[in-house]
Amino acid sequence: MTDYKKDILLLGLFSFALFIIGNGSIPATDPVESNYVLTAKEMLLSGDFISPRIYGNYWYDKPAFFYWELIGAFSLFGISDFAARFFPTIFGVIGVLMTYFFARKIYDRKTAMVSGLLLSTSFGYWLISKTIITDMTLFVFFDAVLVSFYIAYAGKNKNWYYPCYLFSGLAVLTKGPIGILLPGLIVTLFIIARRDWREIPRMRPLGFVIFAAVVAAWYLPMYRLHGSEFLDTFLGVHNVLRATQSEHPMWDVWWYYSVLFFIMFFPWSFLTLPQAIRKYIKNYRATRELPRFDATKIFLLIWAITINLFYQQMATKYSTYTLPSMLPIVILASRFLIERGAEKLIKRVAIVWSVIIVLLTFLVAVPETRHGGSSYSDVAAYLKETAGEDDLVVLYGVYKASLPYYSGLTVYKLETKENVAALRPDGKSWNSLNVMPFYAAEELPGDKNIYLVLQKKGEKLNAEKPVVDLSEYELIKTFKDCKIYKKENK
């Protein structure tokens, strides 16, 4: 067996074990993971694999590729927590191997192995490889565009440009227009920095036919089926609105991604960036010259910095948005640590940290998701056994999609009649996310048994401004984050 195959096998098995362990014991959490699994479940049960749907309504939040992954996993393993986390883990492994492949292409075997090790043991990458969201899939497709580009740019085989178009199409199928716009911006900035205008006509422009064919496979039938409603909601709300209006204003601060870097790249962030800054400052003071970088390092720096600066300008900020910048970061960090002769330190930290994150899986992730309120899987299991088909289930507080996903019941969001009207989708606003079923408290029926899931937050709201008269209900079950009341009407 060649050393290349040995490295691939070792890194693949190590990262797969690290990413998949405990996955079957971690239920889908609210509010994000549960939306994905519920959508995929409804698509699978409906037999409609084109139009994402949730609560029986068409849902234009994300393109279909990640839902197809979930549908495929559910078809293979059944609808389960293990199945839901299977493809994020697989794409996590692919991302590690792609990093090894690219680092070996542009540098050497040692850099490639260290890069793969740093990536797989970075806290943020490990966490997202176990998380039911689109970002790990996007990481692979987005970064594959740039990997293919640089191999074509730096080598003689310009046919490597063709995969750029394929992977950018898949990235657009995964997350939307950002899958081509941001890689395209990075490539453009690199060409400008290098002033290498002669490379542009070599970039196989006919490859746009590949891109168009991949994108049209889903976007075209979606437009034919849903027309302007799809475009207005998907592009208007889930792309333009996110960029211009913060969904979480408290995180719209200038330092968000700078601080996040140290968390996502932990523990390696504290072992590399401060020391690298110190090194360059010391060299500048000694020589009064700025550092000079070769084309490869310039490309990696533009890749990493552009992603972080781009998302810092967006109004809505998420911890996962800058994940694609981790590939160039781990390669740069590997080069820095190797130059400092830190191979023994790398191995020791990787071993200790790997043990710690496995312990975190079972001591923190599993109990918190099962019984800590981040998932309502236990509440759903109770209601599934208790509530009848003709009974009404309502939830007062923050809506939890994990409740209908795990229970198979229709769960209504309880509000006053006035609030129901104010919260319903109304065009290009965040109300477009409110596609769950509502029930007005003033219109609760008198001929059905009612199960009321009252969250702690809802309990407080009900105490301040009563929506439901709890004296008419019997408390039948208490959970960490909520209580279940029942009103007998028949």
More confident residue, 154 or 241: 154
Residue 381 has a pLDDT of 95
pLDDT of the residue at 83: 98
User: For 376-387, what is each residue's pLDDT tens digit?
Assistant: 999 999 999 999
Structure token pair of residue 225: 């089926």
Model-level pTM?
A: 0.94
Which has the higher per-residue pLDDT, 300 or 62?
Answer: 300
229-237, long-range: CB within 8 Å, 24+ apart, which pairs? 229/58, 229/60, 230/58, 230/60, 232/427, 232/428, 233/60, 233/428, 233/432, 234/60, 234/61, 234/176, 235/176, 235/177, 236/428, 237/60, 237/428, 237/429, 237/430, 237/432, 237/433
pLDDT by residue (tens digit) across 280-294?
788 778 777 777 889
Q: What is the pLDDT of residues 345-357, one digit of tens each?
A: 999 999 999 999 9
pLDDT in tens, 46-73: 999 999 999 998 888 889 999 999 999 9
Hey, where are the domains in the chain?
3-368, 377-487
Contacts of 453 (CB under 8 A, 6+ apart): 376, 379, 383, 393, 394, 395, 396, 397, 403, 411, 482, 483, 484
Of all residues in the chain, what percent carry a pLDDT higher than 90? 74
What's the mean pLDDT when you consider all of the chain? 91
The pLDDT score that the predictor gives to residue 150 is 98
Nearest to 330 by CA among 130, 126, 172, 164: 126
Which of 15-19, 264-268, 317-321, 484-488 is least confident?
317-321
pLDDT attached to residue 489: 80
User: What residues does 98 pair with on adjacent strands?
Assistant: none
